[in-house]
Amino acid sequence: MLGTHADLVVEAGDDCAVCRLPGTELDQVFTTDPVIEGVHFERGEVPERVGNKAVGRVLSDIAAMGAQPQWILVNVAAPPELEFQYLEKIYAGMSALCERFGAVIIGGDLAKGDTLELHVFGTGLLPEKAARLRSGARAGDDLLVTGPLGGSFASGRHLDFTPRVPEGIFLRESGLVNAMMDVSDGLATDLRHILSRSGVGAALSGAEIPVNGTLEQALYDGEDFELLLTSPAAPELQKQWRAAFGTDLPIIGKITENPGLLELDGEIIEAKAFEHFASE
């Protein structure tokens, strides 16, 4: 259902669409995410946290390409009885996160709806052909993750998380990353996107996966918004990462030659759908 165009480099299905910016040496990335009451947050949630999540999801997609966030637009549908002050606090949460990462809210619309919904649209910039894609993984790459996974809903972290914007740019600039995406639907589900788009398999080492809670949660909970990446030179990348951020960048597995095959400690693990109406 998507269109085609000579300037469209990467279609939806990755974290962002990637488009050539004519007359420049830049590519521009585009993404959009909904945050809906009753689906992504509960009624009465602290409004600044709702705003943080709404913009954070979009900045995380942009980070996953290795791009610098640029412009944000926000459509809000809200029941007429909702207090305007509540909306203002959502905007405050969105603005705070934008400011932190150099993004700017430049527009949007406010309409009447049955349920409070935020639809956030974002763009980013990066050097042409530099975007890190889900399709870039090669057999033999190590698989790494920028932080612990699991328990995001239970802990409330799904509302307060920090998108890995400088980390994504650093990883892209290192020249040592083949594939990258953000973990929004759980490690097992998201990793399958890399496998199918790259035509490879993966073997995870359970003991190496940094977890919040259980390994099961790390595999299936979702909403972690850490970056998952593959590298053909992981030890060098880990060294540079420690120098830049002072933390570890753990190797959690290896990319294999078996298309679509996902293994955990030598056992095949089957797909398990994350509870979404439809998701990417």
Site residues, a second copy (CB under 8 A):
1-5, 8, 11-12, 16-17, 19, 21-26, 30-34, 36, 38-39, 71, 73-75, 77-78, 80, 88, 91, 95, 98-99, 103-115, 117, 119, 121, 123, 276-278, 280
Q: Among 107, 50, 53, which residue's Cα sits nearest to residue 78?
A: 50
Q: For 242-256, b where at least 16 C-beta lie within 10 A, e where not — what string?
A: eeeeeeebbbbbbbb
Residue closer to a second copy by CB (options 129, 276) is 276
Q: Among 7, 6, 17, which residue's Cα sits nearest to residue 64?
A: 17
- Pairing label, strands 26-36, 267-268: unpaired
Do 19 and 11 touch, CB atoms closer than 8 A? no
Residue closer to a second copy by CB (options 7, 257) is 7
Residue closer to a second copy by CB (options 102, 260) is 102
**Residue 272 burial (CB count, 10 A):** 10
CB of 137 to a second copy, least distance (A): 22
Instruction: For 62-104, give the DSSP string.
Output: HHHHTPEEEEEEEEEEE-TTS-HHHHHHHHHHHHHHHHHTT-E
Residue closer to a second copy by CB (options 58, 249) is 58
CB of 64 to a second copy, least distance (A): 14
Residue closer to a second copy by CB (options 74, 149) is 74
Q: Among 116, 121, 84, which residue's Cα sits nearest to residue 105?
A: 121
Do 202 and 140 touch, CB atoms closer than 8 A? no
Q: Among 90, 29, 86, 7, which residue's Cα sits nearest to residue 55?
A: 90
Do 268 and 214 touch, CB atoms closer than 8 A? no
Residue closer to a second copy by CB (options 64, 200) is 64
